[in-house]
Amino acid sequence: MNTPAFKHETFRDDYSFSNSAEAIRRFPFPFPEDDYMYSVNIEQHEPGAPGSVLEHLIDIDEHYLAECEDRRLTLEQDPDRCIITPHMIDAQWDMVELVMESLAADYPQWFSLSKNGDDWHWINTPMGIDQQFRFGDASTLPMPPFEFITRQVQGDWIIMDQRDDDLFADMGMVTSQADWSIAFDAGMSFKEWHGPVPQANEIGVFDRALKYLLHLQYGSPVRRLNWTMTVNPRLDTSPENYPFWGPDNVSVTPENVGDKVYLRVELQALFRLPRSNAIAFSVRGYLISLNELVTYPRWGKRLHRILKGLHPDLSEYKGLDHYRQTVIDWLAPMDDGADLGLGTQPE
């Protein structure tokens, strides 16, 4: 993409967040057909089209600085959003390497990494960070290596230790989650933390996904999309802060729905980490208001059909029940019933 100017905007209080025309165009719309059900929708995380959110391993967009600032505010109020257990020390450094190397290679205009053996020099120009440190020596960084690097990248990161043919969420930086908590899920296994998800276990999704992930290879990351909806462009929809955002769910009216309701898509990428043999799970969220979304009529029609046919258990689990009908009613006049064909493209 062209070098975006980083926007000054907020994800709380006055909610000044919005997408530029360019950001709308590259939005990772998740519905290739008119129906939706959970599936093992995992594919190779290979570079996608230039300009798309898949162009690089880790996507940096116009919301970069604002999202990092929102993370800083959340951590200030609640440091437990970053959980690090001592046996994950190798994984902390693996993460430093993964993020610094890919950002420096993909966005040389903003990030630079130079190495002299284990003496590394990292420059993050947008955030004004210039740090020399010794790779592998945590005392040379101002904070734990995992926290240092995940404060400088968009999206949540959960790092799983692999043992006993299972994955355990033993480290995480989670400040923009869809109503779950790393402090609660820390140390849980793959099936345990997926416990609340309806329908998926019954159709074997988690058995197959876990088997696949245990064999995930270094150098061959994979990705999948997940989605939900949210009222107001709020990143921190955590169970801890439910009192601050939960009531918003009943504030949706036919008049404000286009403005207040957001589709929230998570681009989830999974990387095997080399030194620790752990797996990094990144959850990169993209928000788009319904008003922005329907600037592409194809997307508006598709979303209308998805919401109309959504399984009631999924609707309840995703927390849509309070306002789903209002959204459907608002989208209905824009859907002429035309055959949209397959694919997620905007036009």
Partner 1 sequence: MTTLNVRVAAVEQVTELVKHFTLVQQNGQPLPRFSGGSHVVVSMNINGRNHRNPYSLMGSPDNTESYHISVRRQEQSRGGSVYMHDQVTVGSELQITYPVNLFAISKLAHKHILVAGGIGITPFMSQIADLNRLGQHYELHYAYRSPEHGAFVEQLREMCGDRLHCYVESEGQRMSFQQLLSQQPLGTHVYTCGPDAMVKTLLLTARDMGWPESHLHSEQFSAPPIGDAFVISLAQSGIDLEVPGDMSMLEAMEEAGLEPPFLCRGGACGRCELEVLACDGALMHNDHYLSDAEKTAGNKIMPCVSRASCQKLVLNI
DSSP state of 5: P
By CB under 8 A, name the one of 80, 134, 211, 345 that touches partner 1: 211
Sequence-ordered alpha helix ranges (H) in 64-111: 64-77, 89-106
Rounded CA-CA distance 142/329 in Å is 52
Positions 220 through 239 that interact with partner 1 (CB under 8 A): 220
213 binds, among ligand HEM, partner 1, none (CB under 5 to 8 A by kind): ligand HEM
Residue 204 CB, shortest distance to ligand HEM, in Å, is 10
Contact status: 162 vs partner 1 (CB under 8 A): yes
Binding segment toward ligand HEM, per CB under 6 A, in 63-71, 104-112, 119-127, 191-199: 191-199
Mark whether 284 is an active-site residue.
no
Contact status: 103 vs ligand HEM (CB under 6 A): no
Contact status: 277 vs partner 1 (CB under 8 A): yes
Name every residue whose Cβ is closer than 8 Å to that of residue 225 and which is 6 or more positions away in sequence: 28, 30, 41, 265, 266, 267, 268
Contact status: 148 vs ligand HEM (CB under 6 A): no
**Type of residue numbered 193:** W
Contact status: 242 vs ligand HEM (CB under 6 A): no
Per the DSSP assignment, residues forming a β-bridge with 131 are: 122
Provide the 3-class DSSP secondary structure of residue 225.
strand
211 binds, among partner 1, ligand HEM, none (CB under 5 to 8 A by kind): partner 1
267 binds, among ligand HEM, partner 1, none (CB under 5 to 8 A by kind): none
Contact status: 109 vs partner 1 (CB under 8 A): no
Rounded CA-CA distance 167/279 in Å is 8
Q: Reduced to 3 DSSP states, what percent helix, strand and coil does the chain have, rounded to the nearest 5? A: 35, 20, 45
Contact status: 89 vs partner 1 (CB under 8 A): yes
Contact status: 209 vs ligand HEM (CB under 6 A): yes
Q: Within 13 Å, how many C-alpha atoms sit on residue 22's CB side?
A: 14
Residue 145 CB, shortest distance to partner 1, in Å, is 15
Contact status: 180 vs ligand HEM (CB under 6 A): yes
Contact status: 140 vs partner 1 (CB under 8 A): no
Residue 27 CB, shortest distance to ligand HEM, in Å, is 18
Binding segment toward partner 1, per CB under 8 A, in 105-113, 273-281, 287-295, 317-325: 273-281
Contact status: 170 vs ligand HEM (CB under 6 A): no
Per the DSSP assignment, residues forming a β-bridge with 112 are: 123
By CB under 8 A, name the one of 50, 142, 196, 219 that touches partner 1: 219
For 206, 326, 345, the CA distances from 167, given in Å and listed in that order, are 12, 39, 34
Q: How many CB atoms lie within 10 A of CB 230?
A: 23
Rounded CA-CA distance 163/143 in Å is 27
Positions 20 through 39 that interact with ligand HEM (CB under 6 A): 38
**Type of residue numbered 253:** T
Contact status: 88 vs partner 1 (CB under 8 A): yes
Rounded CA-CA distance 99/118 in Å is 16
- Given 25, 224, 275, 298, which residue is catalytic? 224
What is the rounded end-to-end Cα distance, in angstroms, of the chain? 19
Rounded CA-CA distance 206/212 in Å is 10
Say if residues 104 and 113 touch (Cβ distance below 8 Å). Answer: yes
Contact status: 167 vs ligand HEM (CB under 6 A): yes
275 binds, among ligand HEM, partner 1, none (CB under 5 to 8 A by kind): partner 1
Task: List contacts with ligand HEM (CB under 6 A).
Answer: 38, 40, 42, 158, 160, 167, 169, 180, 185, 193-194, 196-197, 200, 205, 209, 213, 224, 226, 228, 281, 314, 317-318
Active centre residues (catalytic): 224
**Contact set with partner 1 (CB under 8 A):** 87-90, 94, 97, 161-164, 211, 215, 217-220, 274-277
